[in-house]
Amino acid sequence: MTPVSALSAEIGRLVAQITVSDVNAAVEFYRRAFGADELYRGELDGEPRIFFCELLLGGARLLLQDEFPEYHLLSPLSLGGASVTMRLNVSDAETTHRQALDAGAREIAPVTLKFWGAKTGVLEDPFGHRWMVCSFIEDVDPGEILRRARSVPPEQRLPIRVNSGGA
């Protein structure tokens, strides 16, 4: 057996692994919405659920698995919501946002220019996961971000407005 590094430069240090209600449908959605490519799929004979699927979104990896309630692996649809927002940095937030809506996502917040220097929109995918698509148009240092944050109303300080129907 060849020893390997615990930190793979190819995969990255932090990789999201999400549980969805239907991996096959999720792969198709992420392909249409975000241009994902499927790299690998783990299936077992006699088991209809997929225990591992690896996608490539730009240079990032996203791992998927079907729900396995017996192991407490449930999707946001079963749990009643997501506690994590996946942020996808793209070159054109408007186009990516529209693609995701066309692929079946629900808009939580439209793409708008935010005080931290990014055009940002928020979506919920058909599997209950929340996605923020961002295109940075200005390099803003942390001190300036804080100064700008103080000058906007509190409801505009988070990427998702409380009264937007989203989280």
pLDDT at 2: 58
Is residue 135 included in any domain, yes or no? Answer: yes
d(CA 130, CA 75): 12
What is the rounded radius of gyration, in angstroms, for the C-alpha atoms of the chain? 18
pLDDT digit string (tens) for 121-149? 999 999 999 999 999 999 999 999 889 98
Q: Is 136 exposed, middle or buried (0-12, 13-18, 19+ CB in 10 A)?
A: middle
pLDDT digit string (tens) for 53-112? 999 998 899 999 999 999 999 999 999 998 899 999 999 999 999 999 999 999 999 999
Residue 166, pLDDT > 50, answer no
pLDDT at 153: 85
CATH number of the domain bearing residue 110? 3.10.180.10
Is residue 6 included in any domain, yes or no? Answer: no
pLDDT digit string (tens) for 2-23? 555 554 556 667 789 999 999 9
Q: Is 152 exposed, middle or buried (0-12, 13-18, 19+ CB in 10 A)?
A: exposed
Q: Which two tokens stand for residue 111?
A: 């793409």
pLDDT at 162: 41
| Distances in whole angstroms, Cα of residue 112 to Cα of each of 11, 86, 104, 132, 160 | 31, 17, 20, 11, 11
Distance of CA 15 to the CA centre of its chain: 11
Q: Is the pTM of this model over 0.85?
A: no
Q: Looking at the 3D structure of the chain, how many domains does it have?
A: 1
Greater model confidence, 144 or 156: 144
Range of the domain at 157: 16-164
Is residue 69 included in any domain, yes or no? Answer: yes
